[in-house]
Each structure stands twice: as structure tokens, then as C-alpha cells.
Structure 1
Amino acid sequence: MSRTVCLLAFTTTMVCFPLAASAASGAEPISATSINAARLDAIPASYEPAPNNVDPIATGSIGASATSAQVATLVRKSEAEVPSAAVAKLQVLLDRAGASPGVIDGLDGANFRNAVSAFEAMKRLPEDAKIGPQVIAAIDGVNQVIGSYVIEAQDIAVVVGPIPKDYARMAEMKYLGYATVTEGLAERFHMGEDLLKA
């Protein structure tokens, strides 16, 4: 028995399930179509880290009488925590180019920007970690970064069930595979399990 799902891989596949975080925020859910159609110039050129889930009113960093501009800034920063189809597409392309962004999760962040910088260095572009016309022109030549993947017996064969935390018990295991199919597939396709499960 096989089951068809869409997954993210640095070769030809990507997750095509809507992400709960995107749906909850009112943003368009990530899908195979949205990732393939995503325009890389939709990604902000620079990255500003979002606040560390600190309530700005409780900490006094923003008062109850905050201006709409101050509130809008906080909303924009929290939107950086919502996965983006364009960021996911660029993460796949960077991974294929040999500039690993870490876990492919559709989120803009330090690892993602470090990968952009590494790609710029590889292509002898100015190393500023900004996603501008030069970076886009150097990497965006692929129309489809998404495809389908059929889960087969060998994907399930790597599942060994719960893996003990104790190293001595781990050493006794015949094979140190994965606790679940999703863990194995997420590792194989360089993506977060949350993105795979969404």
C-alpha cells in the first residue's frame, strides 16, 4: 500500500498542505501551487527579528496609548513568524545550490539570511544577506520546486518506534532509525516536521 503526499525536498518536491499558522493568521495557506507561483521579490530585502514573544503592554515597552504606527510595527514583526511560500521556495533553491538554510520551514530568520549570504559569496555578489535583484536573478531559474512523492515501504522500514533517551540503551539497538515516518521524511527532505504535518 502506498500513500501520495506532497513533501519538500531539495531535489524536486515540497509540502503542499496548508499550514495551520498561516490559516490562523488570515494569511494565504502554503500549498504546492502557492510555492511554485511565489515571487522571490515578495520577500522583504532585509530581516528584522521578531520580538521574543514578549507582551509589549505587560513589559511597558509599549503603552495602552500606543499609536497605530507602533502597533502596526509589532504586527509586522509577528507576521515574520508566519511561514511564507516565497521564503519556502527560496529555501529550497538555496538548499539545491549548496547554501543550506537549515530546516526548510518557510520562515525568514538568521539561518535563512546566513544561507543567502553564503549564496552571495558563492556567486561573488555583495555579501549583505539582502534578497535583491542580483540574488533573485542568480537563483530563480526553476519554474517548479514542488512535486509529489509517494510514501513507499522503504520509507516506513526506517521507523523503529520510540528511541530511548539513554545512550546505553540506544547502543543496544540493532538500528537507530526514526521514531515516526514523519520524522524520517522530514530529515530526508530537510524540512521541519511541523511543515510536513501541516
Structure 2
Amino acid sequence: MGEINSARFTMQMPASLADVPAVPPSAVPAGATPAPSNLDPGFNPEPPPAGQTPTEATAPQSARFDAGMVRIQVLLDRAHFSPGVIDGYDGGNVRKAVSAYQEANSLPVNGVAGDALLTRLEQSDASPALVAYVLTAEDVAGPFVDVPRDLEAMSRLQRVGYEAAEEAVAEKFHMDEHLLRTLNPGADFSRAGTEIVVANGGGELTAQVASIEVDVAEGIVRAFDASNQLVAFYPATIGSGDAPAPLGEHTVRGVAFDPTYRYDPARLPSFGQRNHGALDIAAGPNNPVGAVWIALSADTYGIHGAPNPSQVSKTQSHGCIRLTNWDAVELGRAVRPGVPVAIRESSVAQRATGRG
């Protein structure tokens, strides 16, 4: 297969809405660890139904995309070295995940998604990259909403849900919406029983996370088990020049799935929307903290999901650490209160001399 070239993906991506700045809830119950059942009913990071063995699905002949890159992204995602959104592009998030996987598996670290990487990935997981999936009644039920960008207007919604079934299904399978539509031209995403082709991403992280390392310069989050083995890797949006992430040693204070969130302009003056008082914004995958909030001991800061997965690690936040919804859910399920979180400007020097 050789080196993957993003130019081979010829479908043009649609322009994305500006990323909604992330602001943490002002109060998260200390020590709370809600069960996964508290997730949005339309959000399920697992691929095809339990008990069914996924079978290889074939993309339509008219769909032009880099199948090799999609396969590498899927296998990285399944190995918990997240490439961010699965979109068929060899971008910065893919190269970060590739480099991390190469380092963890004693391969030459060059960020190149080529034959050696694919061979090693397939030795660990031979699952197909694309599988057939039949839309369920739950997938198409909604309710779907037009999500405003203005926080005051957003606060009037009863739930900040998905805007369409395509968005819900794409997020369910860790995909870019444009790739989902490319694979399924003419598909009716509003009708239960429609058979479509999806990325076979996901898979449960069985390891317990004992420590987390946030690298601000690289825009990445690493999760380690009790023996200091890297068990998960995520691209992240981490702070900004005006609102940097809180460097130093912190701990996980609690985890809230499907969180509501409170914006108080008095506590976050850099946010910019100050023509109103405090706002309570309903839960839902498209609220500013997404599907999960992992509260840190640094007051008002946390690790959380994002309403625009394609923008993760490509925009700025208001000091927090933003992951895709599915990566944040995976991490949230694997941590407990008290887990140490080190936020560093760069972790390269620490890792070169041994973590500590």
C-alpha cells in the first residue's frame, strides 16, 4: 500500500461551523461516577449490536475515498489510539495517533501511515474497516433540533440534541458526516430499516486508567494504567492564549455523563458573551461540554466532549481539555475520582527521562 496520501481522497469536505467555546459547568458532584446508562439515548460508541459478528461491507463504486486511510483510522480507533474523527484524510490527528502507536509498539516513529503500521495493526485486530448496519427506530427517532450558536438561545432548548439522524449515526460510529454520506449516496437516514455502510470503529477500553498526561504543546492526552503502560491516546483541544489550561498536577474530582452545564460570565470573563446573567444549558451531545464532563481538582476546569468532533485539536478552548464525544466517554468510563492528571506545556522531556 505504501505511504497514504491525503490527495487521493477527492471528495471535498463541507465547511464546518465555528467551534463553540467550551465552558465548564460551575458545579459537578464531587466523586460522582454516573453509570453509562445516563448517556444520551442516541449516543452509543459501540458499533453493530452485541452478539453479532460484523461482516465486511463494500462501499459503492461511485464513492471515491482513500480506503487504506479509512482502514488505518478504524484500526487505530479500535486500538484506542484515537485519530479523532474517521474521515479518510491523512491529517495532523492521524499523524499524532500513528506516532504514538509506533512508539508504543517499538516501530520507527515517523508519523507515516504506511505498510509497516497497517501490518502491525492487523496483527492485533483483523476486523473489517467497513460494515453493514441497519438503522434502528432509536437512530431515527430524535428529537432533532436546530442548535443555535448563541448561548442564551441555546439555554432555551429542553435538550441540546443532534440536529439530524446523519449526525447521530456518524457520531455513533466515530465518523465524519461527509464520509457517511459518501459511503451511502441516496440513503434515507430518516427511515428505520435502511441498510447503510459505516466505519467499524469503537470497542471497549478494558484497562483501568491510573494516570493521565495532558501535553499542551502537542494537543494530546495520554492515559496510563497502574504499571505506567500507555492504554489510550487522544487528540485534544487544550486552552488558548487568552485562557490557557492550568499547568501542573491535578486529580479527577468526578465524572458526569450527559451533563447539563452552567455558564456564569462573572466567573469566566474571557468568554465574551456578557449581555446576560448566568445561563443553564440543558444536557445533550451538542451542548458546549458534549456527552461527558470529567471534573478536575482545578476549579471550573475539566476534560470533556465536543459538539464538533472534526474541530478537535484544530481550534482553541477556554482552558479546558476537549475531546471528541466518544473519546471523552471512553476515558470517563475508565477513570475514577483521585486519578492524577498532569497538565504540562510539553511532556517530551519528561518522557525522555522517564515519567514522574
Fold equivalence (TM over 0.5): yes
Residue aligning to 2:146: 162
Per the TM alignment, residue 172 of structure 1 is displaced from its structure 2 partner at its CA by 2.4
Letter in 2 for 1:167: L
Q: Deviations over 1:141-178 (max 9, x none)?
A: 41522211111121123442211222122122221110
Shift of 1:17: 4.6
Given the superposition, is the C-alpha separation of residues 10 and 130 from structure 1 closer, same or farther in structure 2, using an over 3 Å criterion? farther
Unaligned runs of 5+ in 1: 1-8, 24-28, 31-82
Which residue of 83, 88, 97 corresponds with 1:101? Answer: 83
| Equivalent-residue separation in structure 2 for 1:168 and 1:15 (angstroms) | 44
> 163, 171, 179: which is aligned to 1:195?
179
| CA root-mean-square deviation | 2.6
> What aligned pairs does 1:1-198 form with structure 2 within 5 A after superposition?
11=47, 17-18=59-60, 29-30=63-64, 83-141=65-123, 142=126, 144-198=128-182
CA distance in 1 between partners of 2:57 and 2:143 (Å): 20
Aligned-pair identity in percent equals 35
- Greater RCO, 1 or 2 (C-alpha within 8 Å, sep 6+): 1
Give the number of the structure whose residues are more often strand, by fraction: 2
> What TM-score comes out, normalization by structure 1 length?
0.56
* Structure 1 residues 191 and 143: CA distance shift in structure 2, 3 A: closer
Instruction: Specify which structure has the higher proportion of helix.
Output: 1
Q: TM-score, normalised by structure 2?
A: 0.33
User: Residues 161, 133 of structure 1: CA spacing in aligned structure 2 closer, same or farther, 3 A cutoff?
Assistant: closer
SS in 2 for 1:88: helix
| Equivalenced residues, count | 130
Distance 1:106 1:96, change over 3 A: same
